[in-house]
Copies of this chain bind each other. A is one copy, B any other.
Amino acid sequence: MRAYNFCAGPAALPTAVLEKAQRELLDWQGTGVSIMEMSHRSQEYVAVAEKAEANLRQLLNIPSNYKVLFLQGGATLQFSAIPLNFFGKNAKADYIKTGIWSDKAIKEAKRYGEVNVIDATVNVNGKTGIAQSQSWNFSEDASYVHYCENETIGGVQFKDIPKTKAPLVADLSSSILSAPIDISQFGLIYAGAQKNIGPAGLTIVIVRDDLLDQAKPEIPSLLKYANQAHNQSMLNTPATYSWYLAGLVFEWLLEQGGVKAIHEKNLAKAKRLYDYIDQSDFYDNPIVKDNRSLMNVPFTLVNDSLDQLFLQQAEEHHLLNLAGHRSVGGMRASIYNAVPLEAVEALVQFMEKFAQAHR
What is the interface of chain A, defined by CB distance below 8 A to chain B? Answer: 1-3, 5, 7-13, 15, 18-19, 21-22, 25-27, 31-34, 36-42, 72-77, 79-81, 84, 108, 111-112, 192, 194, 199-202, 217-218, 220-223, 235-242, 318, 320-321, 326
Known contacts A222-B76, A242-B241: A37-B10 contact under CB 8 Å: yes
Please judge, given known A-B contacts A200-B36, A237-B74, A320-B32, whether A18 and B13 are in contact too, CB under 8 Å.
no
What are 20 A-B pairs at a CB distance below 8 A? A3-B33, A7-B38, A9-B237, A11-B37, A12-B33, A13-B34, A22-B25, A72-B72, A72-B77, A73-B73, A73-B236, A77-B223, A80-B221, A81-B220, A108-B221, A192-B237, A194-B240, A200-B238, A200-B239, A201-B238
Cα distance, A73 to B228, chains bound together (Å): 12
- Min CB gap A116→B, angstroms: 21
Q: How far is the CA of A202 from the CA of B240 in the complex (A)?
A: 11
Task: Return A19 CB to nearest CB of chain B, in Å.
Answer: 7
B-chain residues with CB within 8 Å of residue A40 when the two chains form the complex = 10, 200
Whether the pair A36, B8 counts as a contact (CB closer than 8 A) is no
Residues of B within 8 A of A239 (CB): 72, 199-201, 239, 242
Q: A18-B26, A237-B194 are in contact. Are A222 and B80 (CB under 8 A)?
A: yes
Given A21-B25, A27-B2, check contact A201 B10 (CB 8 Å).
no
- The answer to whether A236 and B201 touch across the interface, beta carbons within 8 angstroms, is no
Q: Contact: A2 with B33, CB < 8 Å?
A: yes
Q: Is the interface of A mostly helix, strand, loop or mixed?
A: loop
Q: How far is the CA of A33 from the CA of B2 in the complex (A)?
A: 6
Which residue of chain B has its CB nearest to the CB of A112? B218
Q: How many copies does the complex hold?
A: 2
Residue on B nearest A201 in the bound complex, by CB = B239
CA distance A18 to B217 in the complex (A): 42
Q: What is the CA–CA distance of A182 and B2 in the complex, to the nearest angstrom?
A: 45
Docked CA distance A11–B42 (Å): 12
Report chain B residues within 8 Å CB of A112: 218
Cα A249 to Cα B85 in complex, Å, equals: 37
Q: Which residues of B contact A5 (CB under 8 A)?
A: 32-33, 37
Which chain B residue lies CB-closest to A12? B37
A164 shortest CB reach to chain B, Å: 25
Report B-chain residues with C-beta under 8 Å of the C-beta of A240. 10, 194, 199-201
Nearest B residue to A39, CB-CB: B7
Q: How far is the CB of A261 from chain B (nearest CB, A)?
A: 23
Cβ B7 vs Cβ A37 within 8 A = yes
10 nearest A-B pairs in the assembled complex, by CB-CB distance: A201-B239, A3-B32, A80-B220, A76-B236, A72-B72, A22-B25, A36-B199, A200-B237, A199-B241, A74-B236
* Residue with the highest number of chain B CB atoms closer than 10 Å, among A13, A19, A220: A220
**Shortest distance between the CB of A142 and any CB in chain B (Å):** 21
User: A26 vs B79: C-alpha distance in the bound complex, in angstroms?
Assistant: 32
Contacts of A39 in B (CB 8 A): 7-10, 321
